[in-house]
Amino acid sequence: MSNLGSLLFLSLLALFSLTLSWYVFQALKTVLSQWDSPGGKAAAYLAYWLLTCAYVFFIISSIVTISRTGEISGNAQMGLNVFLTVTITQATIILFLLSEDLFRGIQAGANFLSNNISPKESYLPERRKFVSQLALLVAAVPFIGFVYGIVKGKYNFKVFRETLYFEDLPDAFDGFTITQLSDIHAGSFKDISAVQKGIDLAKEQKSDLFVFTGDLINVSAEEIGPLVDRFKQINAPYGQYSILGNHDYGDYIQWPSPQEKVKNFNDLKASHAKMGYQLLLDEHVTIEKAGQKIQLLGVENWGVGFKSKGDLEKALHGVEKKDFKILLSHDPSHWEQVVKNHPSKVHLTLSGHTHGMQMGVETPWIRWSPAKFRYPHWAGLAEQAGRYLYVNRGFGFHAFAGRVGIWPEVTVIELRRKTS
């Protein structure tokens, strides 16, 4: 982006933040309108705008840091956290104020047309104090939610279980279990003891097979170094297998030389081996049990709008159409665009990538995340004609250093043979 373009973007961002802050200020003025102390009221107003100016300056500084370094870490990451927390909180308040202002506007129009008010009165009714109080009260919910998500929620590991039934599952694999992790993003972790809780949770599942579906790091292979011995603790009787995600190629920073980028990629692949994970690069392995077999395929990253390097045909080479197949593919758009309609039936695809946008609502009644606007299947299970996709919500986090309502996940899939 050019200097002029950057200046324009930062100016628009500052204007956007100040506009939201000005609108929220109307609620503050309404709530404090009956204060008897003019000095106290002035002090409250001054404190609000001083905090607003400090907030906008911090956000602008964070954006500048990100544009210069190409990384979202440290203060820049904190800036993004603050921006999301404040903006969502402000938007909640403004939703109430806009609703009231629409009603006030209708009333003003009716007063103007009827002309039944005195000349000294305004056509536009005053804001109602209880609406502003309600707005501030309701906005406390997302505010507290984001604060919790930043401090604790990002390490609030949960086990998600699915039992899938297949008519052509080999008998020996009836009851076979798979633990899946995805999107570790090792460079984002600061609390190693909290990460260990997630690793322990994965170990406790005692599954037959362990798989990792990409994005081990953010940008550099060095990020996983302090965690290699910890993730190495995860073992399964039928092995540990992994694939690459879009972040694993080192494409998101400027390297001093092409050779440095190649070295980083080779170091990353070596890290998988150090953890005891067999990295599948457009290939397959045969999992055998009691003389029967299933095929485990793994492809490099393939995603709409991201690196599309994965080669499913190569991974299928030597696999028979009748074989039971499980595919590891980082980006769920691969399933949507290619896998679910492929001539060779892939029974189950395990993906990650979306993180569920790390924010949303998942209850027995409501399931929503901003990720839905980008991915038709952004978390959990999908199925078409007996071909299943499971999208893991991610173990780690990236950019926004928190999770609100979409918790870090350890997936356990149980395969069962469907009987008539």
> What CA–CA distance (Å, rounded) separates 319 from 271?
28
| Cα–Cα distance, 265 to 302 (Å, whole number) | 17
| Distance in angstroms (rounded) separating the CA atoms of residues 417 and 360 | 34
User: CA–CA separation, 32 vs 46, rounded Å?
Assistant: 13
CA distance 356 to 138: 24
Residue that has been written with the tokens 């109307």 in this structure: 26
Which of 333, 324, 316 shows the shortest CA–CA distance to 386? 324
- If 0-12 CB within 10 Å is exposed, 13-18 middle and 19+ buried, where does residue 89 land? buried
Residue 9's H or E segment, with its range, is helix 3-31
Tokens (6 digits) for 207: 């599954």
Specify the CATH class of 157-417 in words.
Answer: alpha beta
Tokens 């492929």, located at residue: 342
Going by C-alpha positions, the residue among 413, 5, 9, 4 that lies closest to residue 182 is: 413
3-state secondary structure of 354: coil
> Using an 8 Å Cβ cutoff, are 234 and 208 in contact?
no
pLDDT at 121: 57
Cite the residue boundaries of each domain of the chain with CATH code 3.60.21.10. Answer: 157-417
Please give the average pLDDT of every successive group of 10 residues along the chain, which has 420 residues.
74 93 94 86 94 94 78 77 95 94 83 66 74 94 96 97 97 98 96 96 98 96 96 98 97 93 97 98 98 98 92 97 97 97 97 97 92 96 96 96 97 92
Q: Which two tokens stand for residue 141?
A: 């919910």
* pTM score, whole prediction: 0.91
Long-range contacts of 1-5 (CB under 8 A, 24+ apart): 1/67
What tokens does 72 get?
A: 């979202």
In the prediction, which pLDDT does 33 show? 85
Any idea what DSSP says for residue 41?
H
Three-class secondary structure of residue 295 per DSSP: strand
What pLDDT was estimated at residue 66?
75
CB atoms under 10 Å from CB of 321, counted, come to: 9
DSSP-based three-state secondary structure for 165: strand
Name beta bridge partners: 212.
Answer: 181, 242
* Residues 407 and 157: beta-carbon distance below 8 Å: yes
Structure tokens at 23: 């609108």
**Cβ(330)–Cβ(213) under 8 Å?**
yes
The set of long-range contacts for 94-99, using a CB threshold of 8 Å and a minimum separation of 24, is 94/20, 94/23, 94/24, 95/135, 96/27, 96/131, 96/132, 96/134, 96/135, 96/138, 97/23, 97/24, 97/26, 97/27, 97/127, 97/131, 97/132, 97/135
Query: Phi first, then psi: what are they for 253, rounded to 5°?
Result: -135, 160
Residues in the chain: 420
DSSP-assigned letter for residue 171? G
Rounded distance between C-alpha atoms, residue 412 and residue 296, angstroms? 16
